[in-house]
A and B are shown apart, each in its own frame.
Chain A
Amino acid sequence: MTTTQLPGGSAADGAPLQTVMPSRDDSHRLRKDAKRRSRLGSVVYHLGMLAVSAIVLYPAAWMFMSSLKPSSEIIGNVTLIPENGSLDNFATALSGIAGISFWTFFVNSLVIAVFSVVGVVASSAVAAYAFARIQYRGKKVWFALMVATMLLPFHVTIIPQYILFQNLGLINNFGALLIPKFLATEAFFVFLMIQFLRGIPRELDEAARIDGAGHVRVFGSIILPLLRPAMITAAIFTFIASWNDFLGPLLYLKRPDLYTLPVALRLFVDQTTTSDYGAQVAMAVLALIPVMIFFFVFQRYLIDGVATQGLKG
């Protein structure tokens, strides 16, 4: 910050001073006061915000530090920095559970997350196009039903869905987890894309329709490229949600070699009867790494995606 000597020189504080035409000395003193006050305010503000950040980020810091500590140092200990730091916990976590490598769970999670992203983005985009651009009877009713499913607790469908997939022989099969994703059941993302499409001028695709392009062509060559930002938001959220999902894999995957990381983590917690918190926390860290990478890379999309969703809701 530089202090300027000329009256009216600094944009923020200068304007009201000019109008009352104070003496050169007065204006200088006033501006210095204001600046000191705002600097003090700034310090107080940042101290406050850093305090909130410290509280919010403390569990994360504690998690990382604890993953480097032996279990005896974790419980009953308030120091954050490990005394005898080592990577032993990570070695234990990576060695796997019940003879199955950590990487098996990791790959299972990854496969399910990637296909979930493909399914949700593709099916939601098609459904959103139909809702936003195609005229047919009863559309309003369908739309209302679609929005209502956003509010519906999914527990009401989970039991019959389980029975259905069991009868289809899809227990111990990723299909039970992936089929719903390909059928646009995530109304939230359909809704997000419809809202986004409403912002795209209709003239664009109507012109193409007049030129003889069918719905498939209009969708593929006009709508899809324009819909990209909404699709990216949906993709990132779907990846993270699928990666964190616990109930779905818990219900449908009964064979440990098919487990995703969250279900494997739970098995690990159940099995470590001696409460090896160090290894549990290390495995929790490993399971969160992809989510953290996604967050750092895409935080702008994530935060803006939430913000627009909330406002248009």
Chain B
Amino acid sequence: MAPWLAGFFALTFGPMIASLYLSFTDYDLFGAPEFTGLENYQRLFADPQFIQSIKVTTLYVLLGTPIKLAAALAVAMLLNARRRGLGFYRSAFYAPSLVAASVSIAIVWKAMFIDDGVVDRSLQIFGIELGGWVGNQNMTMPMFILLAVWAFGGPMVIFLAGLKQVPTELYEAAEVDGAGRIRKFRNITLPMLSPVIFFNLLMETIGSFQVFASAFIISGGTGGPAGSTLFYTLYLYIRGFGDFRMGYASAMAWLLVIAVGLITILLFRSSKAWVHYQGDSR
């Protein structure tokens, strides 16, 4: 307990309070923090780059998370069969989720999706001309979403473990009643899996807000082209550690905490309507 308490106060709770205070100040690391009240927050909402970073991040969370989870669930259901070679598939699909956020993969992604790179050229064979990916502001978001979806293995493994817990008698009973695949999926799999779906949704949503390394590497730390990869955390980094506007960045950090907190509360609230816990009536 003692080390956790020390860590909690020195490195989590204390810094949170400090960052809340700093968010009301003008602080460049060198002089003393100068109290400016709500000025940082007012400036933020008048800052077009800040608005852009919210747009980029929201789009990424709203598109990337559901696609990734759908892919994870679909593949988990395929892996829930009794077939040979499942161990191989499971490992092969899981591996990317360990490295997707690394600088190495960001470099590989950039090299694959660079204009006229392997992805571009491969699509051209099929007559698809997209006008590049890395240098095309309309295609950078699909590229980042593909990177997120590629790492579907993490939630997939959790879905798979959840599917193994669904009693097979339920499916057998439904078959006797003449239920087809779609009905079985809607009426048994989804409700039985809802606690796991909730867990994955919460974790992946929170995780999606925090993409950094890949955005930093692929855009060269700029968030370009045309701000299309200016993810929230990248902009926070640019303001805080690029321009040393620590107060401004702290205000951003607190808005992120509030946003994530609100989304968590909303998800928990909504979960009462759609998450079914087995054996207890919470």
Contact = CB atoms under 8 A, between A and B. Distances in A.
A97 interface: no
Interface residues of A, number: 84
Interface in B249-266: 249-250, 252-254, 256-257, 260, 264
Interface string A99-134: 000000000000000000000000100110011001
A97 B4 CA distance: 39
A160 B22 contact: yes
A276 to B, nearest CB: 11
Contacts of A270: 220
B51 interface: no
Interface stretch (B112-120, B169-177, B178-186): B112-120
Contacts of B233: 155
Contacts of A190: 4
Interface stretch (B40-48, B61-69, B83-91, B137-145): B83-91
A183 B10 contact: yes
Contacts of B228: none
| Dominant secondary structure at the B interface | helix
B78 A310 contact: no
A153 B93 contact: no
Contacts of B13: 145
Nearest to B165: A311
Contacts of B238: none
Contacts of A309: 158
Contacts of B15: 156-161, 164
Contact of A159 (B78, B83, B217, B246): B246
Nearest to B17: A160
Contact of B3 (A62, A126, A145, A157): A126
B93 A156 contact: no
Contact of A262 (B102, B157, B256): B102
B118 A183 contact: no
A131 B253 contact: no
B16 interface: yes
Interface residues of B, number: 90
Interface in B102-117: 102-105, 107-109, 111-112, 114, 116-117
Interface in A264-313: 265-266, 269-270, 277, 280-281, 283-285, 287-288, 291, 295, 299, 302-303, 306-311, 313
A52 B75 contact: yes
A87 interface: no
A306 B206 contact: no
Contact of B217 (A57, A180, A269): A269
Contact of B4 (A130, A280, A310): A130
A302 B87 CA distance: 13
B3 A306 contact: no
B101 to A, nearest CB: 6
27 contacts: A56-B96, A59-B96, A60-B95, A63-B108, A66-B108, A76-B116, A126-B1, A126-B3, A146-B4, A152-B257, A153-B206, A153-B209, A153-B253, A153-B260, A155-B252, A157-B16, A160-B16, A161-B15, A162-B241, A183-B10, A244-B213, A284-B104, A287-B102, A302-B94, A307-B158, A310-B157, A310-B200
Given A123-B4, A155-B252, A160-B22, 19 more contacts: A49-B89, A52-B89, A56-B92, A56-B150, A74-B117, A75-B117, A149-B8, A156-B19, A159-B253, A244-B101, A266-B103, A269-B220, A284-B107, A288-B99, A303-B91, A307-B158, A310-B161, A310-B162, A313-B199
Interface of A: 42, 45-46, 48-49, 52-53, 56-57, 59-60, 62-63, 66, 74-78, 123, 126-127, 130-131, 134, 136, 142, 145-146, 149, 151-164, 166, 179-180, 182-185, 190, 240, 244, 246-247, 251, 261-263, 265-266, 269-270, 277, 280-281, 283-285, 287-288, 291, 295, 299, 302-303, 306-311, 313
